Structure 1
Amino acid sequence: MGEQDGAHEQRLKEAISVLLDLDTTVARAYLLRANHSGGTVLVLLTHDRQESGKLALQMDRAFGALFNTEAHLDVVFLDDEADARIRKSFSPFYDRRARYH
């Protein structure tokens, strides 16, 4: 697994951050490349542990529009334990507490 941080990925992170600002359930978000699938994976930590299909679809649409591709953005929702493991290796590109406190 590796962090995605090129120019296109920065634009995607900005677009997704706008969507996340409108959804109070997401605490942190990471944009990673998963070696097993070779694709881009958006990893989200939610406060209420509710997987939001609507939010995932909005982010996938932003991905498709920015990259002009038929490929999809995989969205994974984390619990606190999985988030702690990922934070040992990667910094979130979106952190609600850092933005609003």
Structure 2
Amino acid sequence: MKGEAMETRLSRRALFARQTQAQSALAIISASCLAENGAYCRTCADACPEGAIRFHLQPRGRARADVNADRCTGCGDCLPPCPANAIRLSGTVEETHGQ
């Protein structure tokens, strides 16, 4: 009804409780990643709003991409900018441990 206020009860504890969200997907970066093949590319890391993708320098000018599972939300923002289509989202976090 128009003009009626909706009353919501919220405890002080609930205001400060950390909201946890079940993670259903995680970014997986395949061997076709340009950085892992010697080209300078960091588009996925630049696109990640959570800063979950980092690159570690390897021998011969290569870089290994690491996805921090604690920071990755599975949003998929890293997928579209990847020029090599080297990123996919896993179905579950457990699926990534076998990769």
Task: Provide TM-score, normalisation by structure 1.
Answer: 0.32
Higher strand content, 1 or 2? 1
